[in-house]
Structure 1
Amino acid sequence: METTIVKKFKNINLKVENRVAYIAINNPPANAMSSQTVSGLSASIDYVASEPEVKVIVITGEGKFFVAGADIKEFVPAFDSEEKGKALSVDAQAVLNKIEQLKKPVIAAINGACLGGGLELAMSCHMRIAADEAKLGQPELNLGLIPGFGGTQRLARLTNKSKALEIILTGQFIGGKEAEYIGLVNKSVPLAELMDEAKQLAEAIALNKSQPSVAATIEAVNKGLETTLDEGLEIEADLWAQLFTTEDMKEGVNAFIEKRKAEFKDK
């Protein structure tokens, strides 16, 4: 497989293959979500958002960790300051919101410990595949804190209120299979198969689907979850209608009628 693009950001390695960008967190020993890592992640997301060669993104961790949490040492300067504490939360939330709102699908490939800020990062992605051996959890209460990068909100939305409270209040870790069972991840596979599984999912979208319809799907689901059903249906109808003006929609319909594979141009 030919690598078309290779780039580096702060604590981030990025490569693009077959229209898929692979973003790897690289902040040893545990890939902590330090302020530098958050900055590098933000820059890498800005890059893939604007790079037309990229249609799908996979986020994973270098080495044995996905992301084992925030950089706890960075909390010390915020002692006795609500303002500094809130800045730590809001700055990280902004980057994770950027991922969630991206018009290109983002898949978390959870290769190891995925704790605290790491799980919050994974939950901001549109889909998640975990290694069976991975450990997922929100242990912030052990520090006298609560999850601050979106964990209290996304975990309840992805699972349910009582399961989210159990995971957060106990701080206990769960494995990939249990995460799949409760709906926290789409699928759990042996670690040796993880990146192949993520690649297959990413390329199934990147190499076969039209970017305008992919973007519209993400927008419809994201916005719909924030509204009533009636409002969500209106959003869906508007986006459906807009796609009738795209070249790809005409190509897709004509290809179906002519019994051939559609050749989408992402227009």
Structure 2
Amino acid sequence: MLQETSGGYVKSELHKGIATIEFGHPQSNSLPGKLLHELAHEIETNGNEPGVKVILLRSGGDGVFCSGASFDELRSIKTAEQGLAFFNGFSLVINAMRKAPKLIIARIQGKCVGGGVGLAAAADYAIAVESAEIKLSELAVGIGPFVVGPAVERKIGTSAFTQLAIDASMWRNGDWARRKGLFAELHPSAEGMDESINRLAGTLALSSPDAMLEMKKIFWKGTENWDQLLAERAAISGRLILGSFAREAIAKFTSKVKA
């Protein structure tokens, strides 16, 4: 199934019990609102499909895995309600990953920024290349990693999360992300990464669905309030994005990109 929207796409295919969900966008695999909704829908649909045993989440191309929120869409937000609606898209994706009754493997072929770090954190097992640097850049544009924060903090701990959130302009390399627990594996090349992904996905596809479901329930224990929590966090971002600091920062960024 292929869903194209706002210059980007979300597509999924099922092969031997492995559902591969891929998203892509010409602007460094950024995520506009419609793409977030499509991605959440595909994760939920495949998670509830009996023929699916495991989900592989990936992005298109061989560059950036995900650059987070679409700056064009951030610039177009005019009201707190619009801001809430946009950032709630990240809530929908993270909660869909959390509640999916199937284990989710993330294929991280490049840099992760903002919401991209959130996707990697919300996966049950992330496999990356050594060049996959990460950064939570939200504070630099006048907001903060409020929506993705619970997923990132859950995966790497409070100390590492605060380091990422406070120093919003500093890239952390793949080894840092692996040592903190964001990435389960690091590989020198995409070929090695894909070989490991294929091995693990193939093994999980032949494993007990009931056992994996019970494992996932245990892994995510204590997050039962995230539907409400992430919506509240989305409202904070939706309000802050209207501030003068955020407006000016986004304008500077978009003018630099178009220059």
Structure of higher RCO (CA pairs closer than 8 Å, 6+ residues apart) = 2
Of 85, 93, 96, 2:91 maps to 93
Q: Which residue of 1 aligns with 2:194?
A: 195
Q: What secondary structure, in the 3-state scheme, does the structure 1 residue paired with 2:74 have? A: helix
SS where residue 66 of structure 1 aligns? Answer: coil
Change (3 A) 1:33 1:148: farther
Q: Find the counterpart in structure 1 of residue 252 from structure 2.
A: none
Give 1:46-85 correspondences, 5 Å limit.
46-63=44-61, 64-79=63-78, 81-85=79-83
The Cα of 1:225 is off from its aligned counterpart by 6.6
Query: Distance in 1 between the 2:100 and 2:214 partners?
Result: 11
What letter matches 2:200 in structure 1? L
Q: 1:161 aligns with which of 146, 158, 163?
A: 158
Give, in whole Å, the separation in 2 of the partners of 1:101 and 1:46: 8
| TM-score, normalization by structure 2 | 0.78
Corresponding position of 1:185: 183
Q: Where does 1:190-229 land on structure 2 (aligned, <5 Å)?
A: 190=188, 191-207=190-206, 209-223=207-221
Q: 3-state SS of the aligned residue for 2:186?
A: strand
Runs of 5+ unmatched residues, structure 1: 1-6, 228-267
Instruction: Find the residue that maps to 1:109 and give its secondary structure.
Output: strand
Q: TM-score, normalised by structure 1?
A: 0.76
Q: Highest Rg: 1 or 2? A: 1
Question: 1 CA distance for matches of 2:13 and 2:153?
Answer: 33
Q: Which residue of 2 aligns with 1:132?
A: 130
Cα distance in structure 1, aligned partners of 2:199 and 2:150: 30
| Alpha carbons of structure 1 residues 225 and 98: separation in structure 2 relative to 1, 3 Å | closer
How many residues align? The count is 218
CA-based RMSD of the aligned residues comes to 1.9
8 A contact 1:25–1:66 mirrored in 2:
no
Q: 1:223 to 1:19 in 2, by over 3 A?
A: same
Mapped partners of 2:87, 2:27: distance in 1: 23
Separation (CA, whole Å) in 1 of partners of 2:147 and 2:120: 11
Do the aligned residues in 2 keep the contact of 1:9 with 1:43 (CA within 8 Å)? no
1:264 maps to what in 2? none
Residue aligning to 2:2: 8
Find the aligned partners of 1:43 and 1:155 in 2 and give their Cα distance: 22
Stretches of structure 2 lacking an aligned partner (at least 5 in a row): 226-259
